[in-house]
């Protein structure tokens, strides 16, 4: 039988309901949690467990702040992720999350506090940064959730369910080069080939990422077999306030470690350029000391496209061009996905396949003759 003050009652549908205070809003008003069961004893037992658990979380959290917790979490995941991934997490925390939530004590955190904080991160009222787009907003929300799950795992706070409506996605159509533009680029490179110019073709005709091109060494090219092995990538990452550094690391994903057949036209140019280069010489820089970093090579690519009389595009658009060209030529989607180094064909179809004007025209002519 329910007793006064237990916050347990029998509902009209015959079930029993118990409620307990699981947190406080910023104005100190109670946030209620609910437990349901078929019997009074069942609900009372579960309610006791919930209350005891809450008390444990509250006592353990003490005066620990979210900023201190985030540093502990960063240390805990550092060995399980790439240096560039850890650096990206650190940048996101320092620039977006901690200025808002860093000073909050764990014992004061609740769903309402965190949800309000995340909204402030996404669209700051003090204009500390521009309102975040969908992707960055999702990353911030995901990081906050992960850190809170980590704290709950350590019994520093109770599990929290954070629900925030993210900004709508803004579709961005990446420009791909038309066939005529691709021919202009190929003719430009053939007239006076250099390793840096050939790198442009490795992206446009073999689908390499700019970091993968920067990470190539001559030992990655098997000129006899006509095969290129992708083994590493180069990336500039954030390490501290106003400080970055260049990293050479394994490719983006496990699927990105791959071998790609080299087209005959590119293979001929590579054989001409190989000369006295050693296996550990960097392909773009021509020496063994250090690779060319993506930021510098990006400027070179823009200059080459301008000299080829092709409109400027982001380097990644060359990879998109390769994917779309292959699909137009009826390339098997599974094969294309492997050439691009994707973990699944879904990524290939959703992000890298675009229709060009010639393809639209040919399809319209085919359907409406």
Provide the residue ranges of all domains of the chain, joining segments of one domain with +: 8-61, 66-153, 179-367
Residue 354 pLDDT more than 70?
A: no
91 vs 183: CA distance, rounded Å? 41
Residue 355 pLDDT: 57
Domain 66-153 sits in CATH 1.10.3470: no
Dihedrals phi, psi of 247, to nearest 5 degrees: -115, 140
Q: What is the mean pLDDT of the chain?
A: 87
Q: Smallest Cα–Cα separation from 166: which of 144, 139, 145, 137?
A: 137
Residue 49 pLDDT: 78
Q: Extract the runs of DSSP E, i.e. beta strands, from the chain.
A: 8-10, 16-24, 30-37, 221-222, 227-230, 233-240, 243-249, 258-261
Q: What is the pLDDT of residues 244-284, one digit of tens each?
A: 888 899 888 888 999 999 999 999 999 999 988 899 999 99
What is the mean pLDDT of the segment spanning 129-151? 92
Residue scoring higher pLDDT (51 or 67): 67
Q: What is the pLDDT of residues 291-308, one digit of tens each?
A: 999 999 999 999 999 999
Q: Smallest Cα–Cα separation from 231: which of 246, 245, 218, 244?
A: 218
Residue 251: Cβ within 10 Å count:
18
Task: Write down the CATH number for the domain with range 179-367.
Answer: 1.10.443.10
What is the mean pLDDT of the segment spanning 60-82? 83
Q: What's the predicted TM-score (pTM) here? A: 0.72
Instruction: List all residues 6 or more positions away from 261 whose beta carbon is below 8 Å from its beta carbon.
Output: 226, 227, 228
Residue 322 pLDDT: 93
Residue 59 pLDDT: 43
Length of the chain: 369
């Amino acid at each position: 039988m329910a007793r006064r003050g237990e916050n347990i009652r029998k509902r009209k549908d015959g079930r029993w309901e118990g409620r307990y205070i699981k947190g406080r809003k910023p104005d100190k008003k109670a946030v209620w949690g609910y437990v349901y069961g078929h019997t009074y004893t069942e609900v009372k037992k579960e309610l006791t467990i919930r209350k005891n658990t809450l008390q444990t979380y509250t006592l353990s959290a003490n005066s620990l702040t979210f900023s201190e917790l985030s540093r502990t979490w960063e240390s805990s995941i550092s060995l399980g992720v790439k240096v560039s991934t850890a650096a990206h997490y650190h940048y996101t925390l320092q620039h977006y999350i901690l200025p808002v939530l860093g000073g909050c004590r764990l014992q004061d955190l609740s769903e309402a506090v965190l949800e309000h904080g995340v909204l402030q991160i996404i669209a700051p009222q003090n204009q500390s940064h521009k309102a975040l787009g969908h992707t960055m907003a999702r990353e911030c929300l995901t990081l906050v959730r992960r850190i809170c799950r980590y704290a709950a795992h350590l019994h520093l706070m109770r599990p929290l369910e954070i629900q925030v409506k993210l900004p709508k996605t803004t579709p961005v159509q990446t420009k791909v080069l038309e066939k005529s533009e691709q021919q202009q680029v190929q003719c430009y490179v053939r007239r006076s080939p250099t390793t840096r110019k050939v790198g442009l073709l490795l992206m446009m005709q073999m689908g390499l990422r700019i970091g993968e091109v920067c990470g190539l060494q001559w030992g990655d090219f098997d000129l006899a077999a006509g095969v290129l092995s992708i083994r590493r990538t180069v990336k500039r990452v954030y390490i501290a306030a106003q400080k970055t550094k260049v990293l050479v690391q394994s490719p983006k994903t496990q699927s990105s470690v791959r071998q790609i057949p080299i087209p005959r036209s590119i293979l001929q140019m590579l054989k001409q350029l190989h000369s006295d280069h050693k296996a550990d010489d960097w392909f773009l820089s021509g020496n063994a000391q250090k690779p060319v970093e993506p930021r510098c090579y990006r400027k070179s690519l823009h200059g080459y496209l301008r000299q080829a009389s092709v409109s400027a595009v982001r380097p990644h658009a060359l990879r998109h061009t390769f994917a779309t060209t292959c699909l137009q030529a009826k390339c098997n989607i599974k094969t294309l996905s492997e050439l691009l180094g994707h973990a699944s064909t879904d990524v290939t179809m959703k992000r890298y396949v675009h229709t060009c004007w010639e393809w639209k025209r040919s399809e319209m002519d085919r359907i409406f003759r």
